[in-house]
Structure 1
Amino acid sequence: MITSARPALELDTLRPSFAGELHAPGDAGYDEARAAWNLVVDQRPVLVAEPRTAQDVAALVRFARHHGLRVAPQGTGHNASARTGVDASILLNTRLMRGVQIDFEGRSARVEAGALCGDLTAPASELGLAALAGSSPDVGLVGYTLGGGIGWLARAFGLCCNSVLSFDVVTGDGEELHVDAEHHPELFWALRGGTGSPAIITHMELRLIAVPELVAGAMLWPWERAREVFHAWHRWTLDAPESATTSIRILQVPPLPDIPEIVRGRKFVCVDGAVLGSDAYANEVLAPLRALEPEIDMFAMAPPAALSHLHMDPEQPVPGMGDHAMLKDLTPEAIDALVDVAGHDSGSPLLAVELRHLGGALGRVAADAGARSTMPAPYVFFAVGMPMTPEMGAAIPPRLAMCKAALGDVLDERIYLNFAERPADVSQAFDADAFAALRAVKAKYDSRDTIHANHAIAPASR
């Protein structure tokens, strides 16, 4: 039985079998170790454990079970705002486990639980290889993959979770397992996009993609042209090839020092993304957008590592409040309504209001797909604000709600967990059969619900 009280922890019984770092409330390193990347989140767990090995993770899980506590794994804390109740759990911070090994001949990589996207994309890029990583270099690979993983090669190659070859995990009773298509296949299925509820990942093996030619970048126009550019981008996406994955944003760039000077502190409508292929081919694909005469055009031949930077996401911890929605369609009326509440005359406090183009390989179920087999919508909406002051913190949630309401009839009730910034009904991310199977897997590998995932799935018996 998991309790919510804060018991007196007998850390001396854990330390002999734990090679990592332990931080209890009041310790000098506790506040730094408990911090999430999203600075809005103020998590105060009963203990922060920073493992160095899989054996450390197993020892910690057994220790937590003995004390009637749960274990909350966290790589970076980008999505920490989706998890509740961490104050009654042990926070398992994996930042000391960032090892990456690349097998060039086998076109694969083995990464530890705390590896960031940039830890893999940079060395893989030097070999002409790419992981299906996301739009920020400091997002944790494991958390991103457990939620699905939409990157800038997604329309050509699908979700990152379906590029996983194997996992090494620790189950809810502290058992270490190697998991792949032949070993514990139901758990292998569940962990590929079905959240980290049934097991804690210690290592992950990913398939890499050879990318001989790639064009990536962004086009930016003054945000006063948002309506015109949104409509043109939408028309362009209707026939865009699967080699192109793009998003469009109304973007109020903050004056942060790590943002390129050319855009720092300015306001734009921005189309960014990537096109697989030669410069000549990409020029042909992007020609309808270039016909709009962007003020800034940064699309150019690029190495795969550039994909982690082109979205200009902050690369240091910041406060963020966001929301998202899957879209079953996109209409001119929805575009106009969204620009009305987020564009230059709206008074919007939001940093970014984004539509990302899905479809292509994201809409097809691969024969060996995991629990998150597809993204069953043509577009996804995401918006975020940075509450730098209390006044901004009060203004952002109602504006997020206004943006969703503006989309009206094109909203889909399904959700995408990596963009779900608040506690959500996880069943909305899966069809009924898949969610029932996920609960069954949770019951088999973590029947006592020891693992406290940020998007939790309860065991089937509950």
Structure 2
Amino acid sequence: MILPAAHEIEIQRMLDPSEIFDQSSPNYQRETHCWAAQKDQHPAIVLRPKSLPALQSVLRYLYASDLDFAVRSGGVGSSSARDVVLSMGAFDGFDFDRERATVVLGAGQLWGDVDRKMAALAPGYATVGARYPFVGVGGSILSGGFSWLSHEYGLCSDPKNLLDAQVVLFDGRVVWASQEPELLWALRGGCGNFGGEPFEINSRN
């Protein structure tokens, strides 16, 4: 699959070359790998924006275009498209608030990454995260999220655990979901149909 030249030119204007992977890139396979082979639509390119403004620009463009695209947060998902996969992999932030016992997580990392950061930066605390380290943060939370702690603290997406999420809307605007109660409600049970950038969740000691 080859991306139409007009789209390729516009995307190159918005993103740095290091944020664009074609099928010849060594990063392409890692960013398009699906849990089942039949899910892989062999996209023409992968876009991996490194900043919020870049993500806003490219998402606004993709929604206004006729391109087939999918958003991928990482892990064992099945996100694929004929034209573009938009990877959230560069959004791997981690901010622990000891006083509030909360943590803000970038949606593009794996739970194994979060576990290592918790051990280093918040010893004695744990998050209600997925059971396996190779599962992505974004997709697992938006799909409910079963944790080894769920028998006591519930699912990752429960209101007491998923406190808020920063979301880039289809037109490029950025909102915290708590400002839009219906959006936050949808994120807590949308089964992967919504996408957030950082998630604010409770941590446990």
Pairwise same-fold verdict (TM > 0.5): yes
CA contact 1:34–1:45 (8 Å) conserved in 2: no
Match of 2:9 in 1: 12
Structure 2: gaps spanning 5 or more residues: none
The 1:30–1:98 alpha-carbon spacing in structure 2 relative to 1, beyond 3 Å, is closer
SS where residue 157 of structure 2 aligns?
helix
> Larger Cα Rg: Structure 1 or Structure 2?
1
Percent identity reads 26
**Are 2:105 and 1:141 equivalent residues in the alignment?**
no
Indicate how the Cα distance of structure 1 residues 30 and 137 shifts in structure 2: closer, same or farther if over 3 A, else same.
closer
The 8 Å contact of residues 109 and 205 in structure 1, kept in 2 or not, is answered as: yes
Of 35, 51, 55, the residue aligned with 2:49 is 51
Task: Report the counterpart of residue 127 of structure 1 in structure 2.
Answer: 123
Give the aligned partner of residue 186 of structure 1: 182
Supply the AA of the counterpart residue of 1:203.
Answer: P
1:46 positional shift: 2.8
Deviation at 1:6, TM superposition (A): 5.5
Equivalent residue number for residue 42 of structure 1: 40
Q: What is the alpha-carbon distance in structure 2 between the residues aligned to residue 46 and residue 150 of structure 1? A: 33
Partner secondary structure for residue 112 of structure 2: helix
Cα distance in structure 2, aligned partners of 1:64 and 1:195: 22
Which ranges in structure 1 are unaligned for 5 or more consecutive residues? 211-462
How far, CA to CA, are the matches of 2:173 and 2:66 in structure 1? 17
Q: Does the 8 A contact of 1:167 with 1:204 survive in 2?
A: yes
Match of 2:191 in 1: 195
Counterpart in the other structure of 1:204: 199
- What is the distance in 1 between the residues matched to 2:84 and 2:117? 33
Give CA-to-partner distance per residue, 1:88-135, whole Å, 9 cap, x none.
342011222212111111101111121211222233245211111122
Aligned residue number for residue 281 of structure 1:
none
CA distance in 2, matches of 1:87, 1:119: 26
What is the CA–CA distance in structure 2 between the aligned matches of 1:33 and 1:60, rounded to whole Å?
A: 21
1:61 corresponds in structure 2 to 59
Q: Does 2:96 match 1:108? A: no
Alignment root-mean-square deviation, CA = 2.4
Distance in 2 between residues matched to 1:177 and 1:70, nearest whole Å = 25
Distance 1:37 1:71, change over 3 A: closer
Distance 1:92 1:171 in 2: 14
The 8 Å contact of residues 138 and 195 in structure 2, kept in 1 or not, is answered as: no
Say which SS state the counterpart of residue 10 (structure 1) adopts.
helix
Which runs of structure 2 are paired with 1:309-348 in the superposition (5 Å)?
none
Shift of 1:150: 0.8
Structure 2 letter corresponding to 1:12: I
> 2:196 and 2:68 mapped to 1: Cα distance?
16
Deviates more, 1:155-164 or 1:97-106: 97-106
1:105 to 1:35, Cα distance in 2 relative to 1, 3 A = same
Q: Structure 1 residues 123, 48: closer, same or farther in 2, change over 3 A?
A: closer
Partners of 1:114 and 1:142 within 8 A in 2 = yes
- Structure 1 residues 56-455: aligned runs within 5 Å: 56-80=54-78, 86-125=80-119, 126-162=122-158, 163-180=161-178, 183-197=179-193, 199-210=194-205
CA distance in 2, matches of 1:124, 1:203: 16
User: Contact conserved, 1:37 with 1:78, CA < 8 A, in 2?
Assistant: yes
Match in the other structure for 1:233: none
**If the length of structure 2 is used for normalisation, what is the TM-score?**
0.84
Q: Cα–Cα, structure 1 residues 10 and 194, in superposed 2: closer, same or farther, change >3 Å?
A: closer
Residues of 2 paired with 1:10 and 1:79: CA distance?
A: 26
Give the Cα–Cα distance (whole angstroms) in 2 for the partners of residues 124 and 33 of structure 1.
Answer: 25
Whole-angstrom CA distance in 2 between matches of 1:157 and 1:90: 37
**Equivalent residues of 1:9, 1:67 under 8 A apart:** no
Q: Do the aligned residues in 2 keep the contact of 1:113 with 1:203 (CA within 8 Å)?
A: yes
* Cα distance in 2 between the residues matched to 1:193 and 1:139: 18
SS at match of 2:100: coil
CA spacing shift, 1:7–1:16, aligned 2, 3 Å = closer
How far apart are residue 35 of structure 1 and its match?
2.9
The one-letter amino acid paired with 1:71 is F
Structure 2 residue identity aligned to 1:75:
S
The CA deviation at 1:43 is 3.4
